[in-house]
């Protein structure tokens, strides 16, 4: 067997091993996202129907690392798990709304970051994800909420700017800030464990200004979450 034959044989094996590592890593992130969703359950719901949680920040890390398809698949699996284990209490409709919310945020962020793999690309992607998620959820709350809450559509329309808009904006902001803070340490740990592909960008020092910016966003949105939840 020639050297070229050996390299051709090794390439498919290497690709297969990478796919297995990708599936394993995404499975871990899905499990963590599901656990985070449980941890956030004690947070009081807004208007008794809207639950804050930080699972999206875990799923979007997988999307930023592996791409928008991975983000969409992870969003679907976590939403199905939440429905099957009856943690949402709203059945298929709740599963649909969870999926739309998570996927619109995570897929949008992943698409933009895939084209611009820099810190500013991550910020732009996550901010765009928040904007898209807010817009998508306003439309779908207008469409679906009157059906499963059995309230007149006029009532839901009046709630769009006063309840659904601030809730989704704060929820998206929380997940954006958490993702900005956690992405680098989480991905570095995954790469050290050979569960993620090596970085294509040159190594650089931690940007203290960037960290402070992310911390400021997180604190701001945590306070807003506590206000909307009626805790302060």
99-138 per-position pLDDT tens digit: 999 999 999 999 999 999 988 999 999 999 999 999 999 9
Contact 64, 109 (CB under 8 A): yes
Give residue 18's pLDDT: 80
Give residue 49's pLDDT: 84
At 50 the three-state DSSP class reads strand
Contact 141, 163 (CB under 8 A): no
Q: What angle do CA 13, 16, 22 make, to 5 degrees?
A: 145
- For the segment 137-157, the average pLDDT, to the nearest whole number, is 91
- For the segment 78-83, the average pLDDT, to the nearest whole number, is 92
At 46 the three-state DSSP class reads strand
Q: Is the pLDDT of residue 15 over 70?
A: no
Neighbours of 206 (CB within 10 A): 8
Query: Domains along the chain?
Result: 19-228 (1.10.1760.20)
Lowest-confidence region among 83-92, 149-158, 163-172: 83-92
User: pLDDT of 28-69, one tens digit each?
Assistant: 999 999 999 999 989 999 988 899 999 999 999 999 999 999
Give residue 206's pLDDT: 67
Q: Which pLDDT band, with edges at 50, 70 and 90, does 7 fall under?
A: very low
More confident position, 94 or 71: 71
Alpha helices (runs of H) in the chain, residue ranges in sequence order: 3-39, 55-66, 68-84, 91-115, 119-148, 153-159, 165-192, 208-228
Give residue 106's pLDDT: 98
Neighbours of 23 (CB within 10 A): 13
- What single-letter DSSP state applies at residue 161? I
Q: Is the pLDDT of residue 86 over 80?
A: no
Give residue 132's pLDDT: 98
Q: Is the pLDDT of residue 11 over 90?
A: no
Q: What angle do CA 100, 113, 109 make, to 5 degrees?
A: 20
Give residue 3's pLDDT: 43
pTM: 0.89
Provide the residue count of the chain.
Answer: 232
pLDDT above 70 covers what percent of the chain? 88
């Amino acid at each position: 067997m020639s050297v070229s034959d050996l390299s051709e044989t090794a390439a498919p094996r290497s690709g297969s091993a990478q796919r297995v590592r990708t599936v394993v890593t995404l499975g871990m992130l899905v499990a963590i996202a599901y656990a985070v969703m449980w941890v956030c359950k004690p947070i009081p719901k807004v208007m008794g129907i809207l639950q804050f949680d930080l699972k999206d920040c875990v799923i979007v890390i997988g999307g930023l690392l592996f791409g928008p398809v991975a983000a969409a698949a992870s969003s679907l699996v976590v939403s199905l798990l939440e429905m099957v284990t009856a943690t949402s209490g709203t059945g298929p409709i709740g599963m649909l709304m969870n999926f739309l919310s998570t996927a619109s945020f995570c897929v949008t962020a992943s698409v933009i970051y895939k084209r611009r793999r820099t810190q500013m690309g991550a910020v732009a992607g996550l901010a765009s994800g928040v904007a898209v998620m807010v817009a998508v959820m306003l439309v779908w709350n207008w469409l679906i909420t009157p059906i499963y809450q059995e309230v007149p559509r006029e009532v839901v329309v009046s709630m769009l700017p006063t309840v659904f808009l601030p809730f989704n904006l704060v929820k998206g902001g929380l997940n954006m800030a958490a993702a900005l803070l956690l992405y680098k340490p989480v991905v570095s740990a995954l790469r050290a464990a050979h569960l993620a592909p090596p970085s294509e960008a040159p190594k650089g020092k931690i940007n203290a200004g960037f960290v402070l910016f992310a911390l400021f966003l997180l604190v701001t949105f945590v306070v807003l979450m506590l206000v909307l939840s009626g805790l302060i």
